[in-house]
């Protein structure tokens, strides 16, 4: 967890001084160095090399899970913003499945071959180093933070495959009128912004539930459940491939329907389905000695929980983190999301052995309760962001009031108040432009 937190801190620093694409490109250096350290640690006989490699690999993961969703959100038209954003989750699932395949006994799944398995990390990193230089920089980043209109136009033309990108440039320029005099916000400045309280709380809840929803517990119990269903130890690695395949199919399904169904139903529905199947799985594992068929139902519940996670909670929190904040606050928002993500991951790794030892199979009810709380919160707080502009999303959140918010705003820092006034004027100006368009 510590190395991933370091990655998120580095990611924000990088995004303040480097371009989005350059951050992703340089991040591959961490992956390649980590792969070399881990793969040669056995040959050198130095355990510290492996530990250092794991630390550096965590930095790479922390940067990737923040910079990549941010880059994808900034290059995407709002009509397909969710589908492109889901690419992060899709390729995470592909990576998990690839690891399962490479870990088979016939490939690298033997004790003497594990250094070669870690060396395979170099392959995708080298591929990125070869491909990323040919991709344009984020047009939103170029226009809003670098004030380079020509470069932004060229980037949009290359991404969209058309010469006339005036509509896309105009949409960003509407936001630039507000952000013209606003510098990139730090984490503390974002936390002190009264107008973003609900957005910050939503991101924290989503990321906390992302790690605390119990998927790690599912992976912990997978071998035992498959073994209890009568599968031999030699067969289990091949059956486990079905979990990776289900992940990919569920993530692909989410990417195909997210622009039709919306983020909100998929996210809340995913947590709701996880609650249902966690309860069924608990009953099956408690009563499986009384009926053999319950063991096979347990396998189905495992696959259903994995699919429910990948349909919504597995990728949509990263999409929403980018959609809920303006350009100047987006790096800080991703830092808050990343810290929450890896801190909760650390908590799960620390506490789950004690929860499992104390509750046994009933530990799934703890995760069901967390998913239920998360789904309930999002049901009442999270608005739909599908095909909406930042101003429309802010207006939806503005209808929700924190307790004593009015009194606190009277003592708020003038800078924060200025940001609020500018955002209000932005929403008002967009409304006027829309009205003029309707009159025309």
287 part of a folded domain: yes
CB 152 within 8 A of CB 58: no
Residues 287 and 203 in one domain: yes
The answer to whether residues 75 and 223 belong to one domain is no
Q: Count structural domains, the chain.
A: 2
Q: Does the CA dihedral 275-276-281-284 come out positive or negative? A: positive
C-alpha to C-alpha distances, 437 to 160, 342, 348, 386, 395, nearest whole angstrom: 24, 45, 52, 22, 20
Distance of CA 59 to the CA centre of its chain: 16
Report d(CA 127, CA 4) in Å as an integer: 23
Within-domain flag for 431: no
List, in order, residues 6 or more apart from 434 with CB less than 8 Å away. none
Q: Are 109 and 191 members of one domain?
A: no
Task: Note the pTM of the prediction, 2 decimals.
Answer: 0.81
Same domain for 114 and 190, yes or no, is: no
Is residue 204 domain-shared with residue 92, that is, in the same domain?
no
439 within a domain of the structure (yes/no): no
Domain that holds residue 254: 185-404
- Mean pLDDT split into 10-residue runs, the chain, 440 residues: 51 51 90 95 92 92 88 84 90 91 88 90 93 88 81 86 83 68 78 90 94 84 78 84 92 93 94 95 85 86 93 92 88 91 88 83 90 95 87 80 47 44 46 44
204 and 111 belong to one structural domain: no
**Are 262 and 400 contained in the same domain?**
yes
Q: Which two tokens stand for residue 12?
A: 């924000």
Of the candidates 121, 139, 159, which is a domain's last residue? 121
The answer to whether 317 and 206 have CB atoms below 8 angstroms apart is yes
Per-residue model confidence (pLDDT) at position 212: 92
pLDDT of residue 93: 92
Is the domain of 117 the same as that of 234? no
- Select from 224, 223, 221, 216 the least CA-distant residue to 351: 216
Is residue 198 within 8 Å of residue 397, measured between CB atoms?
A: yes
* pLDDT confidence of residue 219: 81
Position 260 scores a pLDDT of 92
pLDDT at 421: 43
Nearest to 271 by CA among 367, 385, 362, 204: 367
d(CA 245, CA 190): 39
**Burial of 17 (C-beta count, 10 Å sphere; 0-12/13-18/19+):** exposed
Does residue 213 share a domain with residue 83?
A: no
Q: What is the pLDDT of residue 431?
A: 47
Calculate helix-pair angle for 293-311, 241-261, nearest 10 degrees. 40
Q: Which of 67, 64, 89 is nearest to 3 (CA)?
A: 64
Last residue of a domain, one of 121, 141, 163: 121
Domain check: are 107 and 195 in the same one?
Answer: no
**HSE-CB for 400 with a 13 A CA cutoff:** 19
* Cβ count near 294 (within 10 Å): 19
What gap in Å lies between CA 254 and CA 90, rounded to an integer? 9
Domain at 277, CATH number = 1.20.1250.20
Question: Cα torsion for 301, 84, 426, 204, to the nearest 10°?
Answer: 30
**Shared-domain flag, residues 338 and 209:** yes
For residue 363, is it within any domain?
yes
256: which 2 tokens? 């195909």
């Amino acid at each position: 967890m510590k190395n991933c937190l370091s990655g998120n801190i580095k990611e924000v620093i990088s995004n303040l001084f480097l371009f989005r694409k350059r951050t992703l490109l340089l991040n591959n250096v961490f992956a390649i160095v980590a792969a070399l350290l881990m793969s040669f640690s056995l040959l050198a006989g130095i355990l510290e090399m492996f530990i250092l490699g794991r630390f550096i690999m965590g930095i790479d993961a922390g940067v990737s899970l923040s910079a990549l969703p941010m880059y994808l959100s900034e290059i995407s038209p709002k009509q397909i913003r969710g589908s492109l954003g889901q690419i992060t989750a899709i390729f995470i699932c592909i990576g998990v499945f690839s690891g399962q395949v490479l870990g088979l006994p016939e490939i690298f799944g033997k004790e003497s071959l594990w250094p070669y398995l870690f060396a395979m990390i170099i392959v995708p990193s080298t591929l990125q180093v070869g491909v990323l230089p040919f991709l344009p920089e984020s047009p939103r980043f170029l226009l809003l933070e670098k004030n380079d209109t020509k470069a932004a136009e060229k980037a949009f033309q290359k991404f969209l495959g058309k010469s006339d990108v005036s509509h896309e440039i105009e949409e960003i320029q509407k936001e630039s009128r507000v952000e013209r005099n606003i510098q990139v916000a730090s984490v503390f400045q974002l936390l002190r912004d009264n107008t973003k309280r609900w957005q910050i709380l939503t991101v924290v809840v989503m990321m906390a539930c992302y790690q605390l929803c119990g998927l790690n517990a599912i992976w912990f119990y997978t071998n035992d459940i498959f073994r209890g269903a009568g599968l031999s130890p030699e067969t289990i690695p091949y059956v486990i491939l079905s979990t990776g395949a289900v992940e990919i199919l569920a993530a692909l399904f989410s990417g195909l329907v997210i622009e039709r169904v919306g983020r909100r139903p998929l996210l809340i529905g995913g947590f709701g389905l996880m609650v249902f199947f966690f309860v069924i799985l608990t009953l099956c594992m408690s009563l499986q000695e009384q009926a053999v068929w319950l063991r096979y139902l347990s396998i189905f519940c495992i696959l259903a929980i994995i699919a429910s996670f990948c349909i919504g909670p597995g990728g949509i929190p990263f999409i929403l983190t980018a959609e809920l904040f303006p350009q100047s606050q987006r790096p800080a928002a991703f830092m808050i999301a990343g810290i929450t993500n890896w801190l909760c991951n650390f908590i799960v790794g620390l506490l789950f052995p004690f929860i499992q030892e104390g509750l046994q199979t009933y530990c799934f009810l703890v995760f069901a309760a967390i998913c239920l709380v998360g789904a309930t919160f999002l049901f009442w707080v999270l608005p739909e962001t599908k095909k909406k502009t930042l101003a429309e999303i802010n207006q939806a959140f503005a209808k929700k009031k924190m307790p004593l918010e009015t009194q606190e705003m009277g003592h708020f820092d003038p800078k924060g108040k200025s940001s609020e006034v500018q955002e209000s004027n932005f929403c008002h100006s967009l409304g006027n432009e829309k009205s003029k368009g309707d009159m025309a």
